[in-house]
């Protein structure tokens, strides 16, 4: 069986696409499906090596927006016990714009988004972001009523604490 309009997405965006192409051909014989006609996709430039010059105008605007900020709060859902893919992609398409800027977290899910926040902490450590210890964990069962975010007094106080810490961290950075 062949697939006429399929492709293989190479997980790495490291330079040297030819090497990845060769590696994929070495992997192909282990597949039972005929993948000879599948297109290969890999990016050419690592975001960290782009020196804030991106080909895509939307990424360039995203770069300017993030670069102009002094600190961030990530409000993140937890998807499949981890971070949301689209949000991770948005972070990954930049590099130095994140470096060294303080970061706070608000997680939400059935379990408060705790696993997503922990994954974000590991991801953003790469950018040497000072990360606040205080975080807000919201439950979609307890903190949302009829589709409206309705935090209790404790959650509202935690948010005020988080934002105050972030402001102090941004001034100190």
List Cα–Cα distances, 22 to 30, 33, 70, 127, in angstroms: 14, 18, 42, 31
What is the tens place of the pLDDT at every residue in 34-75?
555 554 444 556 676 678 888 888 889 999 999 999 999 999
Q: Where are the alpha helices (DSSP H) in the chain?
A: 17-27, 57-67, 85-92, 114-125, 153-172
pLDDT of residue 112: 94
CB 54 within 8 A of CB 63: yes
Which three-class secondary structure state does DSSP give residue 106? strand
CB 115 within 8 A of CB 82: yes
Task: Write out the H or E segment, with its range, that includes residue 136.
Answer: strand 131-139
What is the tens place of the pLDDT at every residue in 114-147?
999 999 999 999 999 999 999 999 999 998 888 8
More confident call, 85 vs 35: 85
């Amino acid at each position: 069986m062949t697939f006429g309009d399929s492709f293989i997405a190479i997980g790495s965006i490291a330079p040297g696409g030819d090497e990845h192409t060769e590696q994929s051909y070495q992997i192909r014989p282990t597949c039972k499906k005929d993948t000879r006609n599948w297109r290969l996709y890999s990016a050419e430039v690592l975001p960290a090596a782009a020196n804030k010059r991106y080909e895509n105008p939307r990424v360039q605007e995203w770069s300017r927006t993030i670069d102009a900020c002094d600190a961030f709060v990530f409000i993140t859902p937890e998807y499949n016990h981890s971070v949301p893919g689209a949000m991770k992609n948005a972070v990954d398409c930049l590099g130095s714009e994140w470096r060294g800027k303080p970061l706070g977290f608000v997680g939400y899910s059935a379990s408060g988004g705790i696993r997503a926040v922990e994954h974000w902490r590991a991801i953003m450590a790469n950018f040497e972001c000072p990360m606040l210890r205080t975080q807000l964990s919201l439950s979609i069962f307890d903190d949302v009523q009829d589709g409206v975010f309705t935090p209790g007094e404790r959650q509202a106080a935690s948010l005020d604490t988080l934002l105050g810490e972030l402001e102090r961290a941004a001034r100190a950075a």
